[in-house]
Amino acid sequence: MQVRRIVLLTGAGISAESGLGTFRDRDGLWTRHRLEDVATPDGFRRNPVLVHDFYNRRRSDLKTASPNAAHLALARLEQEMIGAGGSVTIVTQNVDDLHERAGSKTVIHMHGELLSALCGACETRDRWEADLGVETECRRCGVVGTLRPDVVWFGEIPYHMTNIQRALAACDLFVAVGTSGEVYPAAGFVEMARVLGAATLELNLEPSSSARVFDAGRYGPATEIVPVWVAETLASVPH
């Protein structure tokens, strides 16, 4: 089958070898923090200092992390697929900017971004690289203490769902990379893509809980299996 339009869903596993934590692995973030305390609107209302501290640490970890071979391979895939008249869309659950720093251009952050702040008073978003706190002033409206990380918390609606559904309907190949398939709606994208006629592939360290839904799966560290898969895919696409 001719592959022309590829949609990739990436999760924390693709950034694991860049040194950024995953959530549900043995030493994952949810084994060290209660997600109810740091990744819900209630948690933020109850203790904004704790939540700011959690995201400030992750934002500063980003400064010492670099894109790895898997991010770079996906950026190459996009460039070469466009050159061959196709397209690559990355839908990422990650809030890091490693896909962009690797050179990927079409990246949809469905769970928001660490490097963005959202003001609860004027509802504007601002690129934000420094720490956020309860005493931080919004650059747009000047109100103090209403800025929050621009990250989608449990119980909130993921961003860009219309664009994501449009991309899933148009793709002929759906590939999930480094995600446990535990969190919806992202975990349901493989079924949606399959029903809409796409071939589906899982690239992960180990079979996820959605593994049986995929047509095929390859398992191992992303920095090893993603570049191999990209090279094989590009070799099969007429240029």
Of all residues in the shown chain, the one whose CB is closest to ligand APR is 13
Asked if 178 is part of the footprint of ligand APR (rule: CB under 6 A), the reply reads yes
Beta bridge partners, 6, equal 88, 173
From residue 234, alpha-carbon distances to 36, 139, 176 in Å are 43, 45, 18
User: Which token pair is 142?
Assistant: 């000047």
Asked if 48 is part of the footprint of ligand APR (rule: CB under 6 A), the reply reads no
User: Which token pair is 226?
Assistant: 């993603």
CB of residue 30 vs ligand APR: minimum separation in angstroms? 7
Cα separation, 50 vs 43, in Å, equals 9
Active-site pick, 52, 71, 109, 111: 111
CB of residue 4 vs ligand APR: minimum separation in angstroms? 26
User: Which token pair is 195?
Assistant: 């029903």
Which position among 6, 8, 11, 99 is part of the footprint of ligand APR (CB under 6 A)? 11
Cα separation, 190 vs 186, in Å, equals 8
Question: Going residue by residue from 14 to 33, which x/- string records binding to ligand APR, judged by CB under 6 A?
Answer: --xx----xxxx--x-----
CB of residue 78 vs ligand APR: minimum separation in angstroms? 19
Q: Closest CB to ligand APR among 66 and 84?
A: 66
Which position among 6, 13, 62, 198 is part of the footprint of ligand APR (CB under 6 A)? 13
Which position among 89, 136, 204, 210 is part of the footprint of ligand APR (CB under 6 A)? 204
Enumerate residues 94-153 that contact ligand APR by CB under 6 A: 111
From residue 97, alpha-carbon distances to 62, 112, 231, 236 in Å are 8, 10, 24, 29
| 147 contacts: CB under 8 Å, gap ≥ 6 | 117, 118, 119, 120, 128, 132, 136, 137, 138
Element (H, E) at 102: helix 98-102
Which position among 36, 123, 129, 182 is part of the footprint of ligand APR (CB under 6 A)? 182
| 64 contacts: CB under 8 Å, gap ≥ 6 | 19
Q: How many residues bind ligand APR (CB under 6 A)?
A: 23
**Is residue 33 annotated as a catalytic residue, yes or no?**
no
Cα separation, 176 vs 172, in Å, equals 14
Asked if 68 is part of the footprint of ligand APR (rule: CB under 6 A), the reply reads no
Which position among 121, 170, 183, 199 is part of the footprint of ligand APR (CB under 6 A)? 183
Binding site for ligand APR (CB under 6 A): 11-13, 16-17, 22-25, 28, 93, 111, 178-180, 182-183, 204-206, 208, 221-222
Q: Which amino acids are annotated catalytic?
A: 111
